[in-house]
Amino acid sequence: MNNLIRFIERNHHFFIFLIVETAALLLLFQYNNYHRATFINKLGAATGIVYEVSDDVVDFFYLRKANQEFAEQNAHILNTLKKSYKTNKISYREIYDSVYEKQWRFFVASVVSNSVNKQNNYLTIDKGRKHGVKQSMGITGPNGVVGVVRHVSENYSTVISLLNPNFHLSARLRNTKYFGSLQWDGIDPRFCWLDDIPNHIDVNVGDSVETSGFSAIFPGQIPIGKVVEASKDGRNNFYHIKVKLFMHIQSLTHVYVIDNEFKTEIEELENKTITYD
């Protein structure tokens, strides 16, 4: 209490000024219509700005939560699609079993860092070893392929982006099912190039490109992009196809990690075959 009294005594001129200034303003606004109206308008405008900023902050955090919920709902839908299952149907004349077994599992991760303007681009996601992420798992976004898991820690993982010349993706033309190798040339993040498509087939601008499914990393039919240019390579019998990507990697906030339940079994079998050859 004594400290408060001493503080007031030291600053009594300032407090007297505040009291006199407040009284003067009250008299001015009470007996002068113009100044009162101006003050009310300014106060209303300031209050509106405060409310607007407050609403923007609330909307930002609500939108962030809504995006997370939307991504989780999409992952649930992907997990229920028929293409996420491996068929166990056995056909021999009239005998078959129509039981399906789960093959592909999708779960959501958030992007914590990303690059698109480097030669070797990568992402970091907020899911790691303890969440079930493993090296070489596929990563997709809302509109298509994103990349492949490279390194995994306990809580985070790095992903080699599709915008990395070291990343090769098995892709096919949707209408003809002919497949080849898709790769980024390190120039424009909007485009990749599809090679090894034989030039005796018809390739048209606008044709859809998707994953071939000929790997243990990505299921088939995941969209990649569309053909914008196709030229025949005079040195061999294949096309050089420019593909505009559906996925805008630079705007990613959430991705889907893909787990193939049969990946280890497939790779062990293929390694035995390669060793035998």
Residues 133 and 36 in one domain: no
Residues 114 and 240 in one domain: yes
Phi, psi of 186 (to 5 degrees): 80, 10
Residues 43 and 122 in one domain: no
Residues 50 and 115 in one domain: no
Residues 129 and 222 in one domain: yes
Q: Is residue 93 part of a domain?
A: no
**What's the mean pLDDT in 266-275?**
85
Residues 147 and 218 in one domain: yes
Residue 202 is given by DSSP the state -
Residues 36 and 150 in one domain: no
Q: What pLDDT digit, counting tens, does each position of 207-256 carry? A: 999 999 998 999 999 999 999 999 987 778 899 999 999 989 988 999 99
Q: Give me the half-sphere count of Cα atoms (radius 13 Å) on the Cβ side of residue 33.
A: 0
Distance in angstroms (rounded) separating the CA atoms of residues 158 and 22: 61
Query: What pLDDT, on the 0 to 100 scale, is given for residue 145?
Result: 94
CATH code for position 192: 2.40.10.340
Query: What pLDDT, on the 0 to 100 scale, is given for residue 44?
Result: 45
If pLDDT is split at 50, 70 and 90, which confidence band does 16 have? confident
Distance in angstroms (rounded) separating the CA atoms of residues 5 and 9: 6
Q: What pLDDT digit, counting tens, does each position of 97-155 carry? A: 455 678 889 989 999 999 988 889 999 999 999 999 999 999 999 889 999 999 999 99
Q: Is residue 86 part of a domain?
A: no
If pLDDT is split at 50, 70 and 90, which confidence band does 91 have? very low
Q: Is residue 48 part of a domain?
A: yes
Q: Domain range spanning residue 160?
A: 105-260
How far is residue 184 from each of residues 136, 157, 196, 227, measured CA to CA in Å?
Answer: 19, 22, 15, 14
Query: What pLDDT, on the 0 to 100 scale, is given for residue 95?
Result: 38
Q: Is residue 129 part of a domain?
A: yes
Q: Is residue 75 part of a domain?
A: no
Q: Is the pTM of this model over 0.75?
A: no
Q: Is residue 64 part of a domain?
A: no
Rg (CA), the chain: 31
Say if residue 68's pLDDT is above 80.
no
Query: What pLDDT, on the 0 to 100 scale, is given for residue 92?
Result: 36
Query: What pLDDT, on the 0 to 100 scale, is given for residue 189?
Result: 93
Residues 40 and 132 in one domain: no
Residues 14 and 127 in one domain: no
Q: What pLDDT digit, counting tens, does each position of 168-207 carry? A: 999 999 999 999 999 999 999 999 999 999 999 999 999 9
Q: Is residue 277 part of a domain?
A: no
Query: How many domains does the chain contain in total?
Result: 2
Residues 111 and 242 in one domain: yes
Residues 118 and 183 in one domain: yes
Distance in angstroms (rounded) separating the CA atoms of residues 172 and 18: 77
Q: Is residue 274 part of a domain?
A: no
